Chain A
């Protein structure tokens, strides 16, 4: 049986992982390759790098980071943040990324999803949806959660699948960084609607919440950032917990 994926997310700025820079352990102020290896050794099933600067000049630095990671870490990894064109995608894949995550550019220009899936294959096109609860549903937001696109998340997710997206990375803006748990309702609404894998993101604070979004939210994978960087728990603790609950995990 296919296992549930545990995916650490690393924010990269100017060639360095920045989340946790205030944290005392130097490891978390540092090198993306070292951190990727660290999480790989812990049992991460995949990695996601988010380029949080995404300015034209710094893009080139990100390409270098991707090249370095690809030479040393042999698990799948995805790169997101500021991707706007087929050229951006091509450069990242050529540098060694296995997948790219498209967010704002996909909403502004839905053709990009179709064209990139045609050109590179659905398996490497992840559509990232930043969802915020609006009265009786959710809207997809753009530009790092700043603008409301007014698109209904459920309809948008379906459209992304039809356009050839291979996976959906579903971020809850409401839960991001709160540690009160994933938005299980949102995750379930999307995961039961589309026939492509859904990665739940935003709100992880304890082990049981991770279990809930898998069991009740039907998530195929879970994304974790601060709880891992700040060592609230380790990947192996998550896996042990899920294993006891009967979730299929990879050792």
Chain B
């Protein structure tokens, strides 16, 4: 069973539709109890960093997810879900994320904000998530902030929007993508399928 975290701001329905379409079982996780039958966890996200942290804390899910991550259980963070894995974000003052990896989230400065549309991801190292293919792939992006990390070993793929930044990260069973696989056509569906079956 795949759990999709609902904290009242995400676009979890699109994620659920994509998982359903691929033929996997998914349930929405709203409270810590909901996680008992879950083997893999997706943290989707649209919205602001600080308010997401607050909502997760209010429902008790912040602790649940932090434990999940500490245990290195299968996890996929999408968009804000990737950003929340890191220490803090420029978006919301001093709001702290899960902080399991080193890095902070900064605002784009050079081009129009938010970045809306299809950008390429340059695959830097082979990974089951991308089917071990090293070629450049297109995905749909929608965000105003991006990751800056000193942990270069985490970075699977990068994108460029005035600055080159990490758009796929991984360590152990924890994966994060800055783009929206659930809205990235065939490439996105393949990536989600890889995550369920191979990661």
Contacts and interface: CB of A to CB of B under 8 A. Distances in A.
Nearest to A73: B185
Interface majority SS (helix, strand, loop, mixed), chain A: loop
A196 B115 CA distance: 9
A220 B14 contact: no
A96 B184 CA distance: 15
Contacts of B184: 74-75
Given A1-B160, A3-B138, A74 B183 contact: yes
Nearest to B160: A1
Interface string A51-81: 0000000000000000000111011100000
B183 A98 contact: yes
Interface in A89-125: 94, 96, 98, 121-124
Name the residue in A46, A124, A197, A250 with the highest tally of chain B Cβ atoms < 10 Å from its Cβ.
Answer: A250
A74 B113 contact: no
B189 to A, nearest CB: 6
A45 B117 contact: yes
Given A75-B183, A76-B140, A96-B13, A166 B119 contact: no
B21 A250 contact: no
B111 interface: yes
Given A1-B119, A5-B117, A74 B188 contact: yes
B142 interface: yes
B17 A96 contact: yes
Interface in B143-199: 160-161, 180, 182-185, 188-189
Chain B interface residue count: which class? Answer: 20 to 34
Nearest to A5: B117
Contacts of B183: 74-76, 98
B14 A98 contact: yes
B182 A74 contact: yes
Interface in A1-32: 1-3, 5
Contact of B11 (A75, A98, A250): A98
Interface of A: 1-3, 5, 40, 45-46, 70-72, 74-76, 94, 96, 98, 121-124, 166-167, 195-197, 220-221, 250-251
26 contacts: A1-B120, A2-B117, A2-B118, A3-B117, A3-B138, A5-B118, A45-B117, A45-B118, A70-B14, A71-B20, A72-B21, A74-B14, A74-B185, A74-B188, A75-B183, A75-B184, A98-B11, A121-B9, A195-B112, A196-B114, A197-B112, A197-B116, A220-B112, A221-B117, A250-B120, A251-B138
